[in-house]
Structure 1
Amino acid sequence: MSPYQLVYGKTYHFPVKLEQKVIWAMKKLKLDWTEAAEQRLNQLNELDEFRLKAYKSSVIYKEKMKKYHEQRTEKREFAVADLVLLFNSRLHLFLAKLKSKWIGPFLIAKVFPRGAFELENKEGAKFTVNGQNVKIYLGHAESVHEVVEAYILDEV
């Protein structure tokens, strides 16, 4: 490659004085166009390798994060007609510290794919919720409205 083929192999002719100065500068700096072109090609190859390595490491990172998230996410499998409690996310912590964060029980009316459920309350109203916001209700459906009184006897 000659010093005149500077841009994409196109030949440019400079005015005679400028052309002499370019040749003098090349001789003075001992520039070798073939060596510079090879060095630039090597740099581009290294850049491509770095980009490929970064892509592979990002794919590995995403897979690890997905695995970590799936491990931390509870697999909840409920069937239609199960009784569940719903997490009350609108509960203000300071206004009702001792109040339970779970409301219900609700009846599962329909199970959607991807962990969503359609719940039904006592009045028959239906609404859809995320499966991560519900947990199984261990009590009996009949005992929901019962009031239980307990007396403590002191033995002397």
Structure 2
Amino acid sequence: MTDPAQLNAKPCPEGLSVVEAEEKEFRFNRYLYQLVGEPWQWNDKLKESDETWQEYAERDGLRTWVAYYRGAIAGYFELERQPNDEVQIAYFGLAPRFIGRGFGGHLLSRALQEAWQWSPCQRVWVHTCTLDHEGALANYQARGMQIYRTEVDTPPSPDEPT
């Protein structure tokens, strides 16, 4: 997304609130990553040390928001400052029990709004892949994001070392 006017925001469902975790705590980010990412095989970062997590999550260039529904964590997103006045939605998703309740559209809308308000910002982007929820790409596009690039990874042949 290269212009905030492209955003097709979805309103907030009743009972949902989205709050920035202004007090940074790397253990909380690790918990959110595991809670939201487990069904989508987000496991590469779980092997990282406390020091690596702390360096990642508690730096100035990363901000975290959490969606709550009736006191329970419904999802979260992280925004990461990039070079050239860009903001990446580093992680985004819902906790498994909250998928299909209409929360994803609003949570993504908030992620995009917050990214654009993190001045200066010239572009907001996110990576997705076929391992993500089948509705992820449609949600990104429905909110006004456009596909910038696609890549196809070719798995190694059985006789190639991995």
Higher helix content, 1 or 2: 1
Same fold (TM over 0.5): no
Q: Which protein has the bigger strand share?
A: 2
TM-score for the superposition, normalised by structure 1: 0.22
Q: Which has the higher contact order (CA 8 A, sep 6+)?
A: 2
Which has more radius of gyration? 1
Normalising by structure 2, we get a TM-score of 0.21
